[in-house]
Chain A
Amino acid sequence: MKLELRGITKKFGALVANDHINLTVEAGEIHALLGENGAGKSTLMNVLYGLYRAEEGEILLDDVVQHFAGPGDAMAAGIGMVHQHFMLIPVFTVAENVMLGHEDTKTGGRLDLAAARKHVREISDRFGFDVDPDALVEDLPVGVQQRVEIIKAVSRDAKVLVFDEPTAVLTPQETDELMVIMRQLKEAGTSIVFITHKLREVRAVADRITVIRLGAVVGEASPTATNVELATMMVGRAVDLTVDKAPAVPGDAALVVKNLSVLDPHGQVLVNNVSFEVHNGEILAIAGVQGNGQTELTEALMGLQPRVSGEITLDGKSLRGHSVRQVLEAGVGFVPEDRTEDGLVGEFTIAENLMLDRSNDEPFVKRWNVQRALLAKFAGEKVMEFDVRSQGIDTPVGRLSGGNQQKVVLARELSRDLRLFVAAQPTRGLDVGSIEFVHERIVATRDAGTPVVVISTELDEVAALADRIMVMYRGRIVGIVPGDTPRAVLGLMMAGEAPAGEGAAA
């Protein structure tokens, strides 16, 4: 089915999210929609899916103008969507999830589960998915859950499938498998819209590429375009994709973690007997697929996890069992992985957020009073230094873009005297320009002699920053390898296979 969007314009108040966007996806084509976060890709797809009503423009399927009042209409017309965050009910089985929303019933309103199971098996066999229709969704790995989403869409006879940032939660291997699936779907005649900001994937799978920036189409490209060309189009200026970084000059071991384990409230082991060291002036990257214990390990370092056993020492002093405040006062800087949830108070101004973790002592507080003049001066300086683009230091951070929000977090953490810097997913959801900036600051921190721990699920980021790479899988360390380890090896390690010829912990 051929999909055509003509002159789609969508406004939120005065903000133009989509500005006369034209997009044509031919039948049986994989069309990548490339753009930074906030460029308007998701808005456009939500218009297509009937979740938003566009002010102007029309949607055509096989040259027939469509009017979608809601997702139901879009689905009926043959548009399916695989959301970034899966729309599955964890306690339902695969078959139940697939039939949800258009349940077949037998007499008396009983669900026809047998038919749903058969349906799932059929599609699953057709694409070689190997999905058990009776498995509970919550028991399935993330990659398989995504296949359930695809089965859901295909079972509704979707002729146009939209994948919204589908690889964000996948391992490199799972990503490759998804690419194979996308090609299979394409051969079966399905048109695919593939939304992403990862250049490598686009070039691997797309037939055509449309680049969106600031709500408007800036151009089309073929998959043979280089990364730099694509990135330049996305950002609107030339970008440097590699981090300029001198070889590390590691000093003494600063952070020493020995036999660290973290349990959840039910006694499940989340981090399993982990030991490693970070030296002064080096970056240790902790790689791994989301949900393999990295988050809990970071939280244990920061004093945010209540059930921790083992040893954590920084410069010889124990950090385990200390409160967050004590850890911060020991000189640990922390960039949490979810900045809007854990890093910033959205309604607070930039200035207020800059003193968020220093609200007890001087310089910002004297005898119970917040030193507002001093804070304003400090905030003014930091906004300049970190290039936070805003209307001023009194702007609520919730109004800033993701990149500028992250700069506020960085400015706050890096303006203290640090003995250790922990950055979790420091560039998640940021545009290419901000990623460049964040990476530069992290390397600068290392060069100042501070030990740095970067937790990241992005292989690109790990490869760009790390002096050493520690890979985690199911709460354990698979191995600690040098920073120049090839991707393929890292990918295997992320799936749990220890590297050949290496011990479990270097």
Chain B
Amino acid sequence: MSTTQGPGTVTGPATSPTGAPSRWDRMFREITTGSAIISVLAVVLALVVGAVMIAFTNKEVQASAGYFFSRPGDLLAAIWNAVSGAYSALFQGSIYNFRRPSFAAGIKPLTETLTFATPLIMAGLGVALGFRVGMFNIGGRGQMLIAAALGGWVGFAVDLPYGLHMIVALVVGILGGALWGGIVGLLKARTGAHEVITTIMLNYVAFYLVSYLLREGFLKTPGSNNPKSPATKVTAVFPDLLGPNYILHFGFILAILATIFTWWLLSRSNLGFQFRAVGLNPHAAKVAGISVKRMYVYAMMLSGGLVGLAGINQVLGTTTSGFGAGLDSGIGFDAITVALLGRSKPWGVFWAGILFGAFKAGGFSMQAAEGVPIDIVLVVQSLIVLFIAAPPLVRAIFRLPVPGAIRRKTQVNVSQEVAAK
């Protein structure tokens, strides 16, 4: 029995190195198949659907639709007016207002956007960090409240020199958030309790605890029946960045620093390396000697600390006249959306936070100027999440290629026959 080789050479398996794909080729694929483009397109799609809703709810559009067949141009004009009016109000309310006389006044909306964005970025980073370690931190509200309560107390009850006071309040606030997050991590590591359950429950614990403290505890304003804390002392308040005419404060610098820190942590430090390993494959991490349980605790502490930073930012920067139990005003939950839109990448979260800050700032002026209900903004935000959660849908609409579809050169196989039978 002998083997008769076919003519020509026989190719071995996977002799691949036929030149790596060019940089541009790779960059193009990264952009089209990567996650960033999906986020951007999700926003675009959400704005389109939002436009449809604005048109539908607009009175003039409804009226002109009644005589569509006699004068169709009216309907189109009405739709155009409604949608362009709403979105231009959104733009002018969030970025630059052309109707103001000077640049200094015109740029004011952008500073408001950044102020709104600050806590969203901070809390979004916290949630994103949790995502990267494979945990869903829904406890933003509780962590913000505890951070604000502890840090805020330092802010109004302790006397310290200017600057130092702020730093102490800041650190205490971050530690408060880290504590509240750390409890969740500890419960998960020790008992296996799922973090979604425990964070939600701890939200209630924090809310009622802080409410109680505001009414009868150490957060109560003396001589007042309002469940509201005293005002933060001047020595602890964040300095304004652009002078007293603008509301933008030092918190935004902190948000940038937090973003840089989180980026370093996740992509440069060994702790972040272990975090990512646990998040992507806890089994392999465990076999590689990484203590998965310890990582859960550390990650929840850091996540809680970042969310806590958002809480203390509200007390020392945005609303310094005293806080109530509603101080998180939904930021803890919006942070989840921000983290999703930012694809749990620090700089992605940063830009997503600014976008959502813009929605918040612009939503009010859209309502005021055009009478478009502010709920539309909420709908657009929700649609963004919806589209992000369904990348195949977005890909189908824009006909994008599927990621991970490995391009491989088809290999020539030379058939050969073994003398058989």
A373 within 8 A of B: no
Assess the B277–A348 pair: CB atoms within 8 A.
Answer: yes
* Interfacial chain B residues near A125, Cβ < 8 Å: none
Interface-lining segment among B174-182, B193-201, B223-231, B288-296: B288-296
Assess the B12–A336 pair: CB atoms within 8 A.
Answer: no
Residue of A nearest to B411 (CB): A214
A365 within 8 A of B: yes
Residue of A nearest to B416 (CB): A219
A 355-374 binary contact with B (CB < 8 Å = 1; else 0): 11101100011001110100
Least Cβ distance of A425 to chain B in Å? 14
Assess the B280–A345 pair: CB atoms within 8 A.
Answer: yes
Interface-lining segment among A78-86, A158-166, A323-331: A323-331
Interface-lining segment among B265-273, B344-352, B377-385: B265-273
Assess the B269–A214 pair: CB atoms within 8 A.
Answer: no
* Interfacial chain B residues near A360, Cβ < 8 Å: 270
A102 within 8 A of B: no
* Interfacial chain A residues near B289, Cβ < 8 Å: 323-325, 327-329, 357
A72 within 8 A of B: no
Assess the A229–B418 pair: CB atoms within 8 A.
Answer: yes
Least Cβ distance of B25 to chain A in Å? 12
Assess the B420–A356 pair: CB atoms within 8 A.
Answer: no
A391 within 8 A of B: yes
Least Cβ distance of B338 to chain A in Å? 23
* Interface-centre pick from B12, B284, B415 (highest chain A CB count, 10 A): B284
A226 within 8 A of B: yes
Q: Tell me which residues from 315 to 330 in chain B have a Cβ below 8 Å from any Cβ of chain A.
A: none
* Interfacial chain A residues near B285, Cβ < 8 Å: 345, 356
Contacts A225-B418, A389-B14 given; does A14 touch B407 at CB 8 Å: yes
Assess the A219–B14 pair: CB atoms within 8 A.
Answer: no
* Interfacial chain B residues near A64, Cβ < 8 Å: none
Assess the A224–B269 pair: CB atoms within 8 A.
Answer: no
Assess the B13–A431 pair: CB atoms within 8 A.
Answer: yes
User: Which range holds the interface residue count of chain A?
Assistant: 35 or more
Assess the A342–B284 pair: CB atoms within 8 A.
Answer: yes
Q: Tell me which residues from 204 to 226 in chain A have a Cβ below 8 Å from any Cβ of chain B.
A: 208, 213-222, 224-226
Count of interface residues, chain B, beta-carbon cutoff 8 Å: 46
B 403-418 binary contact with A (CB < 8 Å = 1; else 0): 0111110110101111
Contacts A229-B3, A346-B280 given; does A370 touch B13 at CB 8 Å: no
A169 within 8 A of B: no
| Bound form: Cα–Cα A392–B416 in Å | 32
In-complex Cβ contact of A214 among B13, B276, B291, B420 (8 A): B13
B1 within 8 A of A: yes
Assess the A359–B287 pair: CB atoms within 8 A.
Answer: no
In-complex Cβ contact of A229 among B1, B11, B273 (8 A): B1
Residue of B nearest to A208 (CB): B420
Residue of A nearest to B288 (CB): A357
Assess the A348–B416 pair: CB atoms within 8 A.
Answer: no
A341 within 8 A of B: yes
Assess the B273–A352 pair: CB atoms within 8 A.
Answer: yes
In-complex Cβ contact of B284 among A215, A325, A341 (8 A): A341
Assess the A236–B10 pair: CB atoms within 8 A.
Answer: yes
A237 within 8 A of B: yes
Contacts A13-B406, A431-B13 given; does A220 touch B420 at CB 8 Å: yes
Assess the A15–B408 pair: CB atoms within 8 A.
Answer: yes
Residue of B nearest to A327 (CB): B289
Least Cβ distance of B262 to chain A in Å? 14
B20 within 8 A of A: yes
A 283-313 binary contact with B (CB < 8 Å = 1; else 0): 0000000000000000000101000000000
| Bound form: Cα–Cα A236–B21 in Å | 27
B interface SS class? loop
B402 within 8 A of A: yes
Assess the A370–B3 pair: CB atoms within 8 A.
Answer: no
Residue of A nearest to B290 (CB): A359
In-complex Cβ contact of B287 among A302, A329, A352, A399 (8 A): A302
Least Cβ distance of B28 to chain A in Å? 15
| Bound form: Cα–Cα A363–B134 in Å | 28
| Bound form: Cα–Cα A108–B61 in Å | 58
* Interfacial chain B residues near A324, Cβ < 8 Å: 286-289
B191 within 8 A of A: no
* Interfacial chain B residues near A357, Cβ < 8 Å: 287-290
Q: Tell me which residues from 18 to 55 in chain A have a Cβ below 8 Å from any Cβ of chain B.
A: 19, 36
Contacts A213-B13, A341-B283, A342-B287 given; does A226 touch B1 at CB 8 Å: yes
Assess the A325–B406 pair: CB atoms within 8 A.
Answer: no
Contacts A226-B1, A389-B16 given; does A356 touch B277 at CB 8 Å: yes
A401 within 8 A of B: yes
Assess the A323–B407 pair: CB atoms within 8 A.
Answer: no
Least Cβ distance of B204 to chain A in Å? 33
| Bound form: Cα–Cα A401–B17 in Å | 15
In-complex Cβ contact of B1 among A12, A216, A225, A329 (8 A): A225
Least Cβ distance of A299 to chain B in Å? 9
Least Cβ distance of A255 to chain B in Å? 19
| Bound form: Cα–Cα A19–B408 in Å | 14
Residue of B nearest to A364 (CB): B270
In-complex Cβ contact of A233 among B13, B280, B411, B418 (8 A): B418
A344 within 8 A of B: yes
* Interfacial chain A residues near B13, Cβ < 8 Å: 36, 213-214, 235-236, 431, 433
| Bound form: Cα–Cα A232–B12 in Å | 11
Least Cβ distance of A402 to chain B in Å? 11
Assess the B10–A237 pair: CB atoms within 8 A.
Answer: yes
* Interfacial chain B residues near A365, Cβ < 8 Å: 270
* Interfacial chain A residues near B274, Cβ < 8 Å: 359
In-complex Cβ contact of A356 among B11, B284, B411 (8 A): B284
Assess the A325–B416 pair: CB atoms within 8 A.
Answer: no
Assess the A16–B273 pair: CB atoms within 8 A.
Answer: no
Contacts A14-B405, A225-B418, A344-B281 given; does A304 touch B286 at CB 8 Å: yes
A460 within 8 A of B: no
9 A-B pairs with C-beta separation under 8 A: A15-B406, A225-B418, A233-B416, A302-B287, A346-B280, A352-B273, A370-B268, A370-B269, A391-B21
Given contacts A221-B418, A368-B269, A370-B273, 8 further A-B contacts (CB under 8 A): A12-B405, A13-B406, A219-B415, A226-B1, A327-B289, A342-B286, A356-B285, A359-B274
Binding site for A on B (CB under 8 A): 1, 3, 10-17, 20-21, 268-271, 273-274, 276-277, 280-281, 283-291, 402, 404-408, 410-411, 413, 415-418, 420-421
Q: Which 7 A-B pairs have the closest CB atoms?
A: A13-B405, A325-B289, A357-B288, A365-B270, A222-B420, A221-B418, A324-B289
